[in-house]
Chains A and B, each alone.
Chain A
Amino acid sequence: MPFVPSSQKTGLNGLLFRVLMLVPGGVLGCGLIVFSLGLLAFLSLRHNDGSLLGNGFTFDNFATLLHDPLYARVAGRSLLIAGLVTATTVVTAYPVAYFLAFHAGRYRAILLFLVTLPFWTSYLLRVFAWKIVLAYNGVLNSFLTSTGLLASPSLAFLNTPAAVVVTLAHAYAPFAILPIFTALENMPRSLFEAAADLGARPFATFRRVVLPYSIKGVLAAATVVFIPTVGDYVTPALVGGPNSIMIGSLIQVQFGRANDWPFGAALSVAVMALIALVIGLLRQTDRQMEKTA
C-alpha cells in the first residue's frame, strides 16, 4: 500500500515544509542547471562583439559550423575516438563484470571496491601517468631499449591519436564495469539451468541469454563512457599532439585564446545535440534488442 504523507491532512504547516524541502534542490541545483543551459543556448545565437552577451541575434555561428569543413572533420574525429574508447572499455570491462557477478564469491566486495577505486582518483593524474609512460624518455621507451626490443627510444608513442584512445580507455575503464555488473547481478541464476536443460552450449547461453539480459547495462556503460570522452580536451592536450584535436579542445579555445564566446556556445549546443542523437540511437538499439529477445 502506498504511503500517504500526513501533509495532505495538515494544511499550511505541511505545505510550508514541502516548499522548504524543494527549495535547495530546486533553486540551487536544478535552477542553476536550467539557467546556465538556457544562457548557453541564448549566447549561441548572438553576434560576437567582444561584450559578455554579444550583440543582436544571428544563426551565423551555426552556419559557420556547417560550412567550414574543419568542424565536421574535428567532430568526426571526436566521434571516432570516443567510439573506439567506448567499444574498448565496454568489451574489456564485460568479462570483469561477468566474473564479479557469477564467480567472485567471497572476494566480490573487495574486487568491486578495487575496480571502482580509480573512479575516485584524480582524472588529471591518471592522464598524466600515461604521459610518463609514453614520453620519449618515458617508461615504455626505457623498458623497450633496456630489453633490446628497440635500439633507440621512439617518438611514435606520444602525441598520436592512438595515445589519446589508449589513455582515455584506461582513464574511463572503471566507469563501464558497474552498470554491466548491476545488470548481470539482477539476472536470475535459474536462467543458466534452464538454458542448460534446453541443451544450450555455454557460448549459446551467453549469446542468447546472458548478453540480451545485460544489454541495458552495456548501453548504460557505453553512455557513461562516451559522454565525457567525446568532450574531453585534457587528454588530447597532454598526450595527443596536433593531430588529435577534439571538439572539446575547440570549445576550450573559444573561451580562451580565440575569445569568441558565442561561437563556443554554438559548438557546445551542437555537441549536446550530437550526444542526444547518440543516446537516442542507443535507446533505439535497446528497444530493438528487447523485441528480438
Chain B
Amino acid sequence: MRTPQPFYKKPLSPGMGLGVYVGLYLFFLYLPVCLIPLFSFNDSIQAAFPLKGFTLGWYRALLHNDGVRRALLTSLEVGGTSAFLATLCGLTLAYARVFLRSGLSTILSGLCQLPLLIPGVIVGIAMLIVVNVIGVGPSRIALVCGHMLVGLPTAFMILYGRLAGLSRSIPEAAEDLGAREWTTFSRIILPLALPALGSAFMLAFLTSFDEFIIAFFLTGSEPTLPVYIWGQLRFPRSLPLVMALGSLILAVSIIIAAASELMRRRGKLTERQAVS
C-alpha cells in the first residue's frame, strides 16, 4: 500500500505543457471512435463529410433485424457463461495463491496468466484444435472455453489484488473462533471479495462481449456480435447498420466498464470503513 505523500509544493517540471499534451492525447484517442456514433445518425450510406442529415432510421432497421438479435443472444450467453467460469477459476486460484500458498497454487496462478503472453490468433487456433479433437467443433461451448481463457488473467489479477490486500487478522480471528476453512471462506472471505467479484465478472464479460480475434475461429453456425459485424463489413450497403450496432455496443461497453470501476472503488471504501 502506498502511504499518502504530502502534496509537492514546487512544480516538478512544466506541468501545464504536459496537461495540454494529455488533452490532445485523449482527443486523438477518442476521435476515431466517436466517428462511429456520429455517422450512425447520418442519413447517408457513405461515411463521409459533410453530414447529410439526422436520422434514426439505421437504429430502427436494427430493431427489425433477426440476424442482429440472434447474434446478440449468442454474445450474451457466451459472455455470461465464460465470465462466470473465468471469475470462478480466478477466485479459487487467487484464494489458493493467497491462503493455501502451496507450490502447486503458485505454478497454477502463473499458468493462468499465460493467455496474456500469447497472441489471440494462437489462442484461437489452439482452442479450435482442442474442440475438434474432443468432438464439439466450433460452437457456443468452444466460444465459452476460448473466452474463459482470455478473461481468466484479468479476473485472477483483480481477485488476487483484493484477497492479498485483506488484513490477515480477519481470517486468523475466524480461525481462533473455531471456524473451519470452508466457513471462513464462505462467511468471511467471499463477502469481503464481493465487489471485486462483481468487477471481475463484468470485465470478463466485456472481454468476451467485445472479443473478435478468437471468436472468429470458434464461431459455429451462430455468430457472436463482433463476428456478425465482421461478416457485414464486406457489404458497403450494410455499413450504416454496422455503425448503429457498433454505437450501441460501444455504449454498453462504456456503461459496464464504468459500473465495474465504481464497484471496485466502493469495495475499497467499505473495507476502509470496516477497518477504521
Q: How many Å lie between the Cα of A238 and that of B226 in the bound state?
A: 14
B29 in the interface (beta carbon within 8 A): yes
The reply to whether the CB of A245 lies closer than 8 angstroms to some CB of chain B is no
B-contact 0/1 string along A117-147, CB 8 Å cutoff = 1101111111011101101011101110010
Q: Which residues of A contact B179 (CB under 8 A)?
A: 6
- Given A32-B145, A52-B132, A122-B226, check contact A255 B111 (CB 8 Å): no
Binary contact track A193-206/B, C-beta < 8 Å → 1, others 0: 00000000010001
Do A92 and B25 touch (CB < 8 A)?
A: yes
11 contacts between A and B (CB under 8 A): A13-B182, A14-B180, A37-B126, A99-B19, A102-B12, A113-B261, A114-B26, A122-B250, A133-B35, A142-B50, A275-B117
Q: A3 CA to B96 CA in the complex, in Å?
A: 13
Residues of chain A within 8 A of B246, CB atoms compared: 122, 125, 128
Majority secondary structure, B binding face: helix
0/1 interface trace, chain B 97-139, chain A, CB 8 Å (1 if under) = 0011010110011011011111111110111111011000000
Beta-carbon contact of B95 and A96 below 8 Å: no
- Complex Cα spacing A121 to B253, Å: 6
Find residues 188-216 in chain A having any chain B CB closer than 8 Å to their own CB: 188-189, 192, 202, 206
From residue B178, how far is it (CB to closest CB) to chain A in Å? 9
Contact check, B152 vs A29: say whether CB atoms are below 8 A apart.
Answer: yes
Q: How far is the CA of A133 from the CA of B102 in the complex (A)?
A: 52
Contacts of B149 in A (CB 8 A): 29, 32-33
B265 to chain A, nearest CB (A): 8
A234–B212 CB distance below 8 A = yes
Q: Does A74 contact B (CB under 8 A)?
A: no
For residue A40, give the distance in angstroms from its CB to the closest CB of chain B.
Answer: 5
Write out the residue numbers on chain B whose beta carbons fall within 8 Å of the beta carbon of A188: 5
Nearest-CB distance from B3 to chain A (Å)?
A: 10
A25 touches B89 (CB 8 A): yes
Report which B residues bind A (CB closer than 8 A). Answer: 2, 5, 7-8, 12-13, 15, 18-19, 21-22, 25-26, 28-30, 32-33, 35-36, 39, 46-50, 85-86, 88-90, 92-93, 95-96, 99-100, 102, 104-105, 108-109, 111-112, 114-123, 125-130, 132-133, 145, 148-149, 152, 168, 171-172, 175, 179-182, 184-185, 203, 206-207, 210-213, 216-217, 226, 229-230, 233, 242, 246, 249-250, 253-254, 256-258, 261
Given contacts A5-B99, A124-B212, contact A115 B32 (CB under 8 A): no
Docked-complex contact B122 and A272, CB < 8 angstroms: yes
A218 at the interface (CB under 8 A from B): no
> A25-B90, A138-B48 known; A99 and B181 CB under 8 Å?
no
Q: Is the Cβ of B22 less than 8 Å from the Cβ of A18?
A: no
Pairwise interchain contact B133-A10, C-beta atoms closer than 8 A: no
A96's contact among B22, B46, B172, by CB below 8 Å, is which?
Answer: B22
Minimum CB–CB distance from A140 to chain B (whole Å) comes to 10
